[in-house]
Amino acid sequence: MNAITLRSRVCRIVAVIFGIFWTVISLLPFLFMGLNSFKEKFEMMTKGVFALPDGFYLENYKAVFQGNFFRFFFNSVVVLAVSLLILLFIAACASYPLSRFKFKLASPIYALIVACMSIPIHITLIPVFKMSKNMGIYDSIWALIGPYIATAIPISVFILTSFMREIPKEIEEAAQIDGCSRYATFFRVMLPLSKPGLATLAIYNGVNMWNEFSFAYTLTQSSANRTLPLAVWEFQGQYSMNMPMIMSVLTLTVIPMILLFIFAQDKLVKGMTAGAVKG
């Protein structure tokens, strides 16, 4: 009995140490990003990136806010919101039959989608540029939505399909016995039960879209249509960049994502399934 409590205590200590260690590791780069955004350029270069700032030098942030930052921010929010909503909805639609229906084509289609996860993004740039031109949406934020959704589809369908497979069959069957059609089952049972999976996807794809770079500069050209990741351009020249300034842009870019995560992680609470069975 004593041996067991000792062992569990050791386990607990190991867990706590590991937790603290990981917290430090995750946080340090973020902290330094924030700290360097309060430095003057020459100060950062002479004293090093890892020294504390001499004082709170706010000029960087002032300069960022005087630029086009809010315009970029607004563009990013619109693109993110529209792309993410559509993506989650259509990915859930596609994952439902792939995980639940028994039909011959299910596994080839699934395999095809998995295969599409492996395309390198750079091969899509030229064709997508051409198409956006032809559609007349080049140099508008609407050009970004299509590629953002499409490139996220394979991984999203893959994750959601494997997630839906793990939802107990009984729940779905009960709904069908109650007389729900497939469509109704999807909306009333599968979609609510997939919330943790959808939240994972929202977080993952949200971050990717927020930081996406390649399509953003390929498909837009005027500064009014740029998104946040391109905001750093104003501080990058041909031979050098103003790092503290870039750090302040990047810090401001991360904060909304942290807030979004705090909101979304709420959906990842244990016991969703149990709750749904009861409700």
Partner 1 sequence: MKKRVKKIAGLLMAATMVVSLAAGCGAGTESDSAETTSGEKTSGDGKEIVFWNIGTEEVDKAIYDKAIDLYNSTTDSGYTVTSVPTQNDTYKEKLIIAMSSGECPDMYLSWSGGPMNEYIKSGYAQPITDLFNKSELPDRLMDAAIAQAKYKDDIYAVPFMNVSLSGIYYNKDLFAEHGLEVPKTIGELEKVCDTFVENGITPFALANSTKWTGSMYFMNLAARKGGLEPFNDAVAGTGTFEDESFIYAGEKIAEWTEKGYFPEGVNSLSEDDGQARQLLYQEKAAMDLIGSWYTGLIQQDSEEFYEKMGWFPFPALEGSDADPSIMIGTIGDNFISFNCKDEKLAAAFDCATKFSEEEIVDFMVESGKTPPIKGIEKKITDPISKLVVEAANSASATQLWYDQYLPPAVAQVHLDTSQELFGLTMKPDEAAKQMQEAMKEYLEESAE
Partner 2 sequence: MEKGVISLAARRKREIHTAAIMFLLPVAVLMAIYIFYPIIDTFITSFYKWNGISADKSMVGFRNWAKLIADQNFWTAFKNNIVVMVLSICIQIPIGLALATLIDFGGKRMTIFKVLWFIPLLMSSVAIGFLFTYALATNGGIFSAISQLFGRGNIDLLGNPNTALFTVIGVIAWQFTPFYMVYCMAAYSNISTDVYEAAIIDGANKGQYFRKIAFPLLTPSLKSAAILSMVGSLKYFDLVYVMTNGGPGTSTELMATYMYKQSFVKFNMGYGSAVAGGMFILITVVSLLTMKLLNRDRGRE
Binding site for partner 1 (CB under 8 A): 41-42, 45-46, 48, 82, 85-86, 89-90, 125-126, 129-130, 133, 135-142, 145-146, 187-188, 191-192, 217-218, 221-225, 230, 232-243, 279
Provide the β-strand partners of residue 241.
236
Task: Decide: is 219 part of the binding site for partner 2 (CB under 8 A).
Answer: no
205 makes contact, choosing from partner 1, partner 2, none, with CB < 5 to 8 Å by partner type, with none
Task: Decide: is 67 part of the binding site for partner 2 (CB under 8 A).
Answer: no
56 makes contact, choosing from partner 1, partner 2, none, with CB < 5 to 8 Å by partner type, with none
Q: What's the length of the chain?
A: 279
Minimal distance in Å, beta carbon 56 to partner 2?
20
Q: Which two tokens stand for residue 80?
A: 């993110």
CB nearer to partner 2: pick between 80 and 98: 98
Residues with Cβ within 8 Å of 215's Cβ and at least 6 positions away in sequence, in order, are 125, 128, 144, 147, 148
Q: Figure out which of the listed residues 78, 114, 137, 191 binds partner 2, where binding follows CB under 8 A.
A: 114
- The span from the CA of 17 to the CA of 29, in Å, is 20
Task: Decide: is 186 part of the binding site for partner 2 (CB under 8 A).
Answer: yes
- The span from the CA of 274 to the CA of 143, in Å, is 42
- The span from the CA of 222 to the CA of 203, in Å, is 29
- The span from the CA of 265 to the CA of 203, in Å, is 8
191 makes contact, choosing from partner 2, partner 1, none, with CB < 5 to 8 Å by partner type, with partner 1
